[in-house]
């Protein structure tokens, strides 16, 4: 309870970044297994993607009744009876689904119109209807593979456009390194979700694609929360010589409870959707909720244990910090060769000190042009300071000359054996 209380109150200090190799290794292993499963096993695509024929009918009492004959007998047939009826017509069903309270759906490969009518007659017999009344009870629909291919193509285009837009936005709003980290986290979420569908043989339907795009939006939101906190913490720590991995780890700990609370709050309605889909026999609702459940769990993991450690691996934001340190060293060398002005005339800090501060600025967001402008501004301020110092305190250079003039003119005050400057010339002229 103590650890949970600290986590809830934000007093946690877990070394998440320090153990980044463990988290990244687990993510890589899971992603590789998902890819292998996709290659070896593949996905169980629904009829909407690969095309085929669908028969739907009801076994409710009186369903499909006509003037000449009554409707269905109201007895629910077994899955074996439905499959046997379709096989008598020469069709092997791929799926037999019991939807809602009295609906049956049979899915199979694409067949011609005559075979479809024969299957309808056999299915009507499973609920006590004759072949003549089959058209009033059983409806058949043929979905072409071309339509399924169009659905797949549109889904892939939407995914590519989404990823490009995300990369551009994060690069503009934060930094390109954060865009790379977010892209890696999103790729992990997609691979893990699709891999679970491949291993478990769950049906991939259009609802699954919609849920996957929803997952990407949620995962991106979680990543941006962490990135924004890191940016805020960096600004607050400006000027402090803090280790960058430690700064990232502190930022992550500050938003850890928020991320977990958001994920838990999201999982509650998703669980309700999944339960309702299973209870009501709604295949579409079940596929949608299942994909959301897997994706939210994967997105929570990736935003905490993948995106942030990748930022640390790519390096500290602000690639000009080392260049600023070089400029600072050069300024120190230059200042050591020049006589320093009196303390009273120093109105600004040395440029070298400011260069070092720029180099270690924790709040820098990685804009190279921003650091270059600060360095140029610091150099111009130092040049102005030196010019003002020379105007206000000229005694530093002229004092020596003034002190030497009396010594050259005074014969009593100069040391024995010394000659006044320029005196030799005048005596030679008199002679």
Q: What does the pLDDT read at residue 375?
A: 54
Q: Which residue has the higher pLDDT, 44 or 357?
A: 44
- The percentage of residues in the chain with a pLDDT greater than 70, rounded to a whole number, is 65
Q: Which residue has the higher pLDDT, 47 or 428?
A: 47
Domain locations along the chain: 7-45+147-314, 52-143, 321-338+349-386
User: Got the DSSP string for 307-340?
Assistant: HHHHHHHH--S-TTHHHHHHHHHHHHHHHHTSPP
d(CA 398, CA 109): 102
- The percentage of residues in the chain with a pLDDT greater than 90, rounded to a whole number, is 10
Kindly state the average pLDDT of the residues 280-305: 87
Reported as a single tens digit per residue, the pLDDT across 185-203 is: 988 999 999 999 999 888 8
> Has residue 33 got a pLDDT over 90?
yes
Which among 155, 282, 208 is positioned nearest to 44, based on CA atoms?
208
Q: What does the pLDDT read at residue 196?
A: 92
pTM of the model: 0.63
CATH code for the domain defined by 52-143:
3.30.70
Highest mean pLDDT among 23-27, 56-60, 149-153, 366-370: 23-27
Q: What does the pLDDT read at residue 136?
A: 76
Token pair for 141? 């629909």
Q: Which residue has the higher pLDDT, 328 or 135?
A: 135
Reported as a single tens digit per residue, the pLDDT across 282-293 is: 778 888 898 899
d(CA 307, CA 304): 7
Q: How many CB atoms lie within 10 A of CB 296?
A: 24
Token pair for 279? 């209870």
Please enumerate in sequence order all residues whose Cβ is within 8 A of that of 103, keeping only pairs 6 or more positions apart, or say none. Answer: 56, 57, 58, 281
CATH code for the domain defined by 7-45+147-314:
1.20.1640.10
To the nearest whole number, what is the mean pLDDT of the chain?
Answer: 74
Reported as a single tens digit per residue, the pLDDT across 216-233 is: 888 888 888 888 888 887
Q: What does the pLDDT read at residue 166?
A: 80
């Amino acid at each position: 309870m103590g650890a949970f209380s600290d986590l809830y109150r934000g007093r946690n200090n877990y070394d998440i970044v320090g153990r980044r190799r463990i988290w990244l290794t687990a993510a890589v292993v899971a992603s590789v297994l998902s890819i292998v499963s996709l290659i070896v096993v593949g996905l169980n695509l629904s009829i909407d993607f690969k095309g085929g024929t669908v028969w739907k009918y009801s076994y409710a009492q009186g369903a499909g009744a006509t003037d000449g004959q009554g409707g269905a007998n109201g007895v629910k047939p077994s899955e074996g009876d439905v499959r046997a009826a379709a096989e008598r017509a020469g069709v092997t069903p791929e799926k037999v689904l019991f939807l809602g309270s009295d609906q049956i759906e049979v899915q199979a490969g694409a067949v011609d119109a005559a075979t479809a009518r024969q299957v309808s007659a056999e299915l009507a017999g499973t609920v006590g209807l004759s072949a003549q009344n089959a058209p009033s009870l059983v409806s058949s629909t043929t979905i072409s593979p071309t339509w399924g291919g169009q659905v797949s193509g549109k889904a892939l285009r939407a995914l590519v456009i989404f990823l490009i837009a995300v990369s551009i936005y994060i690069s503009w709003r934060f930094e390109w390194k954060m865009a790379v980290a977010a892209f890696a986290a999103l790729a992990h979420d997609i691979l893990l979700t699709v891999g679970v569908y491949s291993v478990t043989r769950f049906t991939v339907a259009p609802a699954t694609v919609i849920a996957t795009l929803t997952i990407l939006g949620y995962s991106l939101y979680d990543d941006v929360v962490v990135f924004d906190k890191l940016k805020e913490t960096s600004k607050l720590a400006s000027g402090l010589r803090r280790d960058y991995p430690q700064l990232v780890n502190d930022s992550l700990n500050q938003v850890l409870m928020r991320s977990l609370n958001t994920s838990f709050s999201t999982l509650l309605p998703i669980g309700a959707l999944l339960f309702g889909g299973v209870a009501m026999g709604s295949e579409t609702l079940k596929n949608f909720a299942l994909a959301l459940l897997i994706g939210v769990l994967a997105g929570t993991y990736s935003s905490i244990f993948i995106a942030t450690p990748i930022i640390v691996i790519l390096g500290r934001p602000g690639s000009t910090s080392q260049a600023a340190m070089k400029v600072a060293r050069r300024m120190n060398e230059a200042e050591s060769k020049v006589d320093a002005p009196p303390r009273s005339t120093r109105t600004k800090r040395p440029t070298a000190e400011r260069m070092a501060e720029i180099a270690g600025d924790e709040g820098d967001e990685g804009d190279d042009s921003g650091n270059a402008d600060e360095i140029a501004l610091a150099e111009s301020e130092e040049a102005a300071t030196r010019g003002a110092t020379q105007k206000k305190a000229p005694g530093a250079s002229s004092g020596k000359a003034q002190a030497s003039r009396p010594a050259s003119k005074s014969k009593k005050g100069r040391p024995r054996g010394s000659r006044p400057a320029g005196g030799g010339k005048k005596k030679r002229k008199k002679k």
